Amino acid sequence: MATQAVISGNGDQRRTLVIIFLRGAADGLALVPPVGDDHFHRARPRLAAAAKDGVRLDGHFGLHARMRPLESAWRDGDLAIVHACGMEDDTRSHFEAQDLMEHGGVAAGGWLGRYLRTRPPAVAGALACVAVGKALPECLLGAPTASVMQSFEDFTLGGGTPAFRTQLERLYAMERGRLGAAARDTFDALVRIEALRTSPRPPDHGAVYGRDEFSAGLARLAQLIKADVGLEAASIDLPGWDSHFAQQGQVESLAGRLAEGLAAFRRDLGRRMATTTVVVMTEFGRTVEENSAFGTDHGRGSAMLVLGGGVAGGRMHGVWHGLAPDKLERRGTLDGYGDLPVLNNYRNVLSSVLARHGANPANLAVTFPGFTLDPLNLFA
């Protein structure tokens, strides 16, 4: 542990934020169905039928049946849900919406990158920020440091002798700009991960992770958190939610992966969940009505999940107006069209979370420029 303390500095005092992005526009009405609303059943005669097998959260909302592994987090008060979430821009383009949302509006760099660059204290360790996957997500653009990682084992300089590494480091040290910075991050991260690899730890408290890529990513994040390497922010994607066609099986499988992964992560971290917050978000929701192909098309509002220590959980947060036709957002001129409106801006969820992680008003203003924040009170 002495080695890790040197690596991390005071890493164990840090909180860790994990952002899970459901790419492809997850259907919030399938994940957190308003089962007590007759309009829901009317708009989705075929798709809504499955909701009766789900978890009853309160008198009005349920949780998708495959999300049952998260029921205990809800009952323990560690899971809060905000429905009708999204952004003010009504683009229904996945890419534009993800881009806008991850940039935190029309702004240079990503919101999480800007947060990390401006939050006190200004010094970030090389492993302060990890993106699980193959590439850096837009939300981390501009982060003082960010490492892309698929597995610890791969995070080594294969076959290179010390001389090779020394010479390579020398050449990159002469590089200015982004390439030089990326190389320095890479060399720093190499050193830290090598230390982690020498003392691998199995999941704690009997947690069992699935074999899918998403769960494996969460398991590695848990290892980094438990090893006190100073991880402050991490991102991981769960893609594949664009359910235009026969969505039932697709949503079931993804909802299962999401909930099982999160439940294992929560169990594995145990009391460390007190300093960890997980946010689940997506670019926009889907049409209230099902389409002719048993799917749903691009809509507006979806649900956000916030899981972690100190969360005022076990209840819904934010504004909700129901699905009565006059409460829906109209678009186009054809009859019967309406979308769940965005009643809760995603920034008001994220800013509440960032405040919990130590953000002050000044750096929240830099994180979400051009927007008057009105953070929800997601923490007790």
Contacts with other proteins by CB under 8 A lie at 23-24, 91-96, 131, 133-136, 141, 146-148, 150, 154-155, 157-161, 163-164, 167-168, 170-172, 174-175, 178-180, 182-183, 185-186, 190, 239-240, 242, 244-245, 289, 291-293, 295, 297-298, 331-334, 336-337
Specify the residue for token string 């909930």.
259
How far apart (Å, rounded) are the C-alpha atoms in residues 284 and 300? 5
Of 219, 203, 212, 95, nearest to 149 (Cα)?
219
Cβ contact 61:37 at 8 Å:
no
At its nearest, how many Å lie between other proteins and the CB of residue 284? 13
At its nearest, how many Å lie between other proteins and the CB of residue 48? 17
At its nearest, how many Å lie between other proteins and the CB of residue 188? 11
How far apart (Å, rounded) are the C-alpha atoms in residues 205 and 90? 44
Residue 179 dihedral angles phi and psi, to the nearest 5°: -65, -45
At its nearest, how many Å lie between other proteins and the CB of residue 370? 18
CB nearer to other proteins: pick between 186 and 363 = 186
Cβ contact 301:86 at 8 Å:
yes
CB nearer to other proteins: pick between 173 and 380 = 173
CB nearer to other proteins: pick between 204 and 252 = 252
At its nearest, how many Å lie between other proteins and the CB of residue 282? 14
Beta bridge partners of 18: 234, 278
328: CB partners within 8 A, 6+ apart = 288, 338, 339, 340, 341
Rounded to whole angstroms, what are the CA distances from 168 to 154, 162, 179, 186? 19, 10, 13, 12
Residue 188 dihedral angles phi and psi, to the nearest 5°: -60, -45
CB nearer to other proteins: pick between 64 and 300 = 300
124-125-128 Cα angle (round to 5)? 80
Query: How do strand 62-63 and strand 55-56 relate by DSSP bridges?
Result: antiparallel
Written as six digits, the tokens of 149 are: 């990682």
At its nearest, how many Å lie between other proteins and the CB of residue 191? 12
Amino acid identity for residue 123 in this structure: V
At its nearest, how many Å lie between other proteins and the CB of residue 311? 31
Cβ contact 233:17 at 8 Å:
yes
CB nearer to other proteins: pick between 311 and 323 = 323
At its nearest, how many Å lie between other proteins and the CB of residue 280? 19
CB nearer to other proteins: pick between 129 and 225 = 129
SS3 8: helix
Of 323, 298, 305, 300, nearest to 241 (Cα)?
298
CB nearer to other proteins: pick between 72 and 95 = 95
At its nearest, how many Å lie between other proteins and the CB of residue 249? 13
At its nearest, how many Å lie between other proteins and the CB of residue 12? 26
CB nearer to other proteins: pick between 333 and 372 = 333
Of 241, 244, 242, 239, nearest to 296 (Cα)?
244
CB nearer to other proteins: pick between 43 and 359 = 43
CB nearer to other proteins: pick between 57 and 288 = 288
Cβ contact 34:285 at 8 Å:
no
Residue 332 dihedral angles phi and psi, to the nearest 5°: 65, -165
Residue 27 dihedral angles phi and psi, to the nearest 5°: -80, 95
